[in-house]
Amino acid sequence: MAIPAEMKALLQTNDGYAAKPSGSVLEAMEPYVEPGVVAVPKPKPTQLLIKVSLASINPSDVMFVKGMYGQPRQKGQPAGFEGVGTVVATGDEPLARSFADKRVAFATGVTGWGSWAEYAVAEAPACIALIDTVRDEDGAAMIVNPLTALAMFGIVKDEGEKAFIVTAGASQLCKLIIALAKEEGFRPIAIVRRDDQIPLLKELGAAHVLNSEAADFRTSLKETVKAEQPRIFLDAMTGPLAAGIFHVMPKRSRWIIYGRLDPSTTPILEPGQLIFQQKVIEGFWLPVWMRQSPERREWAEMEAQKRFSDGRWTTDVTAVVPLSKAMSETPAALAKPNGKVFIKPD
Amino acid sequence: MAIPAEMKALLQTNDGYAAKPSGSVLEAMEPYVEPGVVAVPKPKPTQLLIKVSLASINPSDVMFVKGMYGQPRQKGQPAGFEGVGTVVATGDEPLARSFADKRVAFATGVTGWGSWAEYAVAEAPACIALIDTVRDEDGAAMIVNPLTALAMFGIVKDEGEKAFIVTAGASQLCKLIIALAKEEGFRPIAIVRRDDQIPLLKELGAAHVLNSEAADFRTSLKETVKAEQPRIFLDAMTGPLAAGIFHVMPKRSRWIIYGRLDPSTTPILEPGQLIFQQKVIEGFWLPVWMRQSPERREWAEMEAQKRFSDGRWTTDVTAVVPLSKAMSETPAALAKPNGKVFIKPD
């Protein structure tokens, strides 16, 4: 495939981190990215150059471009952590070369060449060669959510208790986790912020869905925790809400933080619980999980593809926005609930 | 040995927890304990009744009687977590019976019958039969500090990095840890609150001693952390100081909380560090450590006794206060720096 010298991309307009946190909603694209034309990069020895078919927009992308994610922004570089596409050039290392010409799901990580562009760069270990039965929409959203869901539900299974708690319960990620849990007889307790999210999550398999904005939230949380004894808390929020949930959980509970949707201060309400109740506060990050065990990683990659191929999983698509219109159309598309927004190079 | 029907003791005058935290200094005994006479208790099947020779006063005792420790107070019950004495009655279970008539170091845990009394009750697994070469002063302070020091330095050794950080660096416990670390070529970074504590700790083996009250503390902390790359943080304080120390520590650092000397709020300054840097916040509690591995526990019990017997360790005694004078003499004795205060039944 002929590779052009230049490409269109949505380029970051800021460096580093935001001076002030600003919430998790993308109110507009202009403060954070701008359309531009840059030279198509060359992959390093361990990397792949990918012609992007479809790029996804995850909550972590929004947090990143707003400067509130745990990685620094790079002005002038394309944004976008995830996508699907075709490998058009590879580095010289064997793993990278093994991906030549393949259709891959990819995560751009810290390469600096994101997926909101005609071409992206990913490290070979952050790519999955896709089987033909996986649609582009599913491949473009294969890594961040599905693999994280399999990984985090794996933590729940290893812990052994049937019940566990998730915040941001109506997210795509949590829906995947809840469905996995239902299949295996586990009892997810989902925390949401709107009553209209409750029926869908119950249908998917949540044992309890609690609205944190409800007047009786504290009481129902305590009763639910007492009845279900959840020990794993998969938390996308942090802040006082998450701290309060962890506080009422039983002995040996693990607060596993994977997102930072609430930028306000996160207190440890009673550090004595860490001492006398062996509670632990830790984090989850997919790249670390993937590095820890190649076997587990291969299993998860194949499991996700099987589930998308046979229809057990499917990505709800809210909108596919052309790259040329992404500046104007993305914020409104993201504001719609319950589905995923993609950017497609045109 | 004839066991009397009644005994003198310092009895707790409060139940449960303090409504408001009040600092870690014992300004007076009267608000928290009162002298009294109560029936000598009978040990349960797993317990020992011990005639107290010497009871120690640890920072955790002060926090406990003030209602700021992670266990509820029990009005009318004797205070005191630790001591040395002779077993005068045992429960029927084999482990308990094996301690009959022995001189033991003991921790009263949650039996409700503390060591600030003529007789105390301890669970058999919380007792150590002492070899003759261990002095009473060392036996009475054998468990809480020496075993904790061996256990926590063991965590440092398992982690592998030579440097580690301790708060409350001038405590008896930290002095033991620092001396252990020096023997094995480790590099403790001790945080203290007074300049006059610096020379002693350096002599004991601290690689760095930083005064958290100094104007340049933040700068020297950052420089020290950068140079030494400590990954273990053994923290007796919590609160903003501890949170700030953890914040500047490198990837994969573990904040291990074992005390709560600062009752103010403990924030997680950047939860993203738990995600992207695999930092972890956990607790340490000796009874849990002792349950986890009987072999390790036996090793630590013998190691502590050897060190006290051959003089490598010695307990600095500030005062031995008679039980009959403990109400009036204890606060002033505790206010003296650098040594331990004991209560002796008279």
Digit-coded pLDDT (tens) for B229-283: 999 999 999 999 999 999 999 999 999 999 988 889 999 999 999 999 999 999 9
Is residue B283 within 8 Å of residue A275, measured between CB atoms? yes
Q: What is the mean pLDDT of residues A110-120?
A: 96
Computed over every residue of chain B, the mean pLDDT equals 95
In three-state secondary structure terms, B173 is helix
Given an 8 Å threshold on Cβ–Cβ distance, is B271 in contact with A283?
yes
Give the list of residues 6+ apart from residue A94 with CB closer than 8 angstroms, or none: none
Of B260, B265, B282, the CB nearest to A267: B265
pLDDT tens sequence across A316-344: 899 999 999 999 999 999 998 778 899 99
- The percentage of residues in chain A with a pLDDT greater than 70, rounded to a whole number, is 100
| pLDDT at residue B265, as a whole number | 95
Is residue B2 within 8 Å of residue B29, measured between CB atoms? no
Contact list, A280 vs chain B (CB under 8 Å): 280-283
Residue of A nearest to B265 (CA): A267
Report which residue type is found at B123. E
Given an 8 Å threshold on Cβ–Cβ distance, is A281 in contact with B283?
no
Q: How far, in whole angstroms, is CA B156 from its chain's centroid?
A: 18
Chain A contact for B284 (CB, 8 A cutoff): yes
Backbone angles phi, psi at A317, to 5 degrees: -100, 115
Q: How far, in whole angstroms, is CA B33 from its chain's centroid?
A: 20
Contact list, A71 vs chain B (CB under 8 Å): 276
| pLDDT at residue B70, as a whole number | 77
In three-state secondary structure terms, A273 is helix
pLDDT tens sequence across A117-148: 999 999 999 999 999 999 999 999 999 899 99
Chain B contact for A279 (CB, 8 A cutoff): yes
Confidence of residue B312 (pLDDT cuts 50, 70, 90): confident
Distance CA B21, CA B23 (A): 6
Tokens 């939230």 found at: A217
Out of 3.90.180.10, 3.30.70.100, 3.40.50.720, 3.20.20.70, the CATH code matching B6-141+315-344 is 3.90.180.10
Chain A contact for B70 (CB, 8 A cutoff): yes
Report which residue type is found at B200. L
Distance CA B346, CA B115 (A): 14
Residues 224-243 of A with CB under 8 A from B: 238
| pLDDT at residue A19, as a whole number | 86
Q: What is the mean pLDDT of residues B88-93?
A: 97
More confident residue, A22 or B343: B343
Decide whether B6-141+315-344 matches B144-287 in CATH topology.
no
Q: Is A158 exposed, middle or buried (0-12, 13-18, 19+ CB in 10 A)?
A: exposed
Distance CA B22, CA B68 (A): 8
Of A257, A258, A271, the CB nearest to B257: A271
pLDDT tens sequence across A220-276: 999 999 999 999 999 999 999 999 999 999 999 999 999 988 889 999 999 999 999
Ranking B133-142, B214-223, B310-319 by mean pLDDT, the lowest is B310-319
For residue A144, the 8-state DSSP code is I
| pLDDT at residue B24, as a whole number | 83
From the CA atom positions of chain A, what is the Rg in Å?
A: 20
| pLDDT at residue B19, as a whole number | 86
Give how far B159 is from chain A: nearest CA, Å: 17
- What Å distances lie between residue A78 and A73, A136, A326, CA to CA? 10, 21, 13
Give how far A308 is from chain B: nearest CA, Å: 27
Architecture in CATH of A144-287: 3-Layer(aba) Sandwich (3.40)
List the single best residue of A281, A288, A290 to mutate versus B (max B Cβ within 10 A). Answer: A281
Is residue B164 within 8 Å of residue B185, measured between CB atoms? no
Report which residue type is found at A335. A
In this prediction, the answer to ipTM > 0.90 reads no
Q: β-strand A47-57 against A33-39: which pairing, if any?
A: unpaired
Given an 8 Å threshold on Cβ–Cβ distance, is B266 in contact with A265?
no
Chain B contact for A280 (CB, 8 A cutoff): yes
Is residue B149 within 8 Å of residue B172, measured between CB atoms? no
| pLDDT at residue B59, as a whole number | 87
Task: From A234, A226, A228, select the one nearest A257 (Cα to Cα).
Answer: A234
- The percentage of residues in chain B with a pLDDT greater than 90, rounded to a whole number, is 86
Residue of B nearest to A275 (CA): B283
Is residue A193 within 8 Å of residue A212, measured between CB atoms? yes
| pLDDT at residue A24, as a whole number | 83
Tokens 């520590």 found at: B249
| pLDDT at residue B1, as a whole number | 62
Domain parsing of chain B, residue ranges? 6-141+315-344, 144-287
